Amino acid sequence: MNGITDAVTIVTGAGSGIGRAAAHRFAEEGARVVAADVDVEGGESTVDAIAEDGGEATFVETDVSEYDDVEAMVETAVDTYGGLDCAFNNAGIEGEDEPASEQPLENWDRVIDVNLKGVFHCLKAEIPAMLDNGGGAIVNTSSVAGVVGFPELSPYVASKHGVIGLTKTTAVEYSGEGVRVNAICPGVIDTPMVQRSADTGDGIDMAIAATPIGRLGQPPEIGDAVVWLCSEDASFVTGEAMVVDGGYTSQ
């Protein structure tokens, strides 16, 4: 894909699932990757695997709900590689399943802090670094839960709808200055998060039955879309919430 070779790229939540797959795809295309995660072991193993494949990556321990951590993450990219070109703001948590009236207040706060405020923190710290560098491209992870509702997931659904609003607003604010901002809305993807969420094998079977393509998505299928959105091949795409869901929301 055009424009990714040598691009300095931050990936949050790079220690597992979708973030790990995207970090690999960026590195395969020649990007220099700053892999950020709260999970040190997972993040370091992503960086090691990229290095084994001949790519370049640096791990930085980051809790995206803490603005100081996010500032340090962006500083690491600039100090290590000389600037910032791309970012995939992907770290997220599923939270607890309860109807809205029974949701623990602390679960609401934690899910919003990580999934929505975390993306805001990233945008706030990354955009100035990209403007200093002549522009850039950002992809934020929303979800099909950013497009439609899901029972018992009110904080998660609210956070993912919010990510699309943040994406559209920052796209309108900064696209004229060379920073494109898009969101990715995955359907049900086979990651540790989904394996955790499925209390029984039935949960996965129900997700497959609700997906017209008839299977779970695989993390590299999201990674491919993210790298494309960050590439010059997507030079006129901004403010878009791209659904990659095997047809889940087309019904």
Contact positions vs ligand NAP (CB under 6 A): 12-13, 15-19, 37-39, 42, 62-65, 90-93, 114, 118, 141, 143, 186, 188-189, 191-194
145's tokens: 């839960």
**Is the CB of 17 or the CB of 136 nearer to ligand NAP?**
17
CB of 195 to ligand NAP, least distance (A): 8
For residue 114, the minimal CB distance to ligand NAP (Å) is 4
**174 is annotated as an active-site residue:** no
What the block records as the tokens of 118 is 């975390």
Residue 173 in 3-state DSSP? helix
Residue number, 31 or 188, with CB nearest to ligand NAP: 188
Q: How near is the Cβ of 250 to ligand NAP at its closest, in Å?
A: 16
Burial state string for 100-121 with b = 16 or more CB within 10 A and e = fewer than 16: eeebeeebbebbbbbbbbbbbb
Q: Are 168 and 239 in contact (CB under 8 A)?
A: yes
User: Which one is catalytic: 81, 156, 174, 248?
Assistant: 156
Listed in sequence order, the residues at least 6 apart from 199 whose beta carbon sits closer than 8 Å to its beta carbon are: none
- For ligand NAP, the closer of residues 55 and 186 by Cβ is 186
Measure the CA–CA gap between 10 and 133, rounded to whole angstroms: 14
> Which residues are designated catalytic?
156
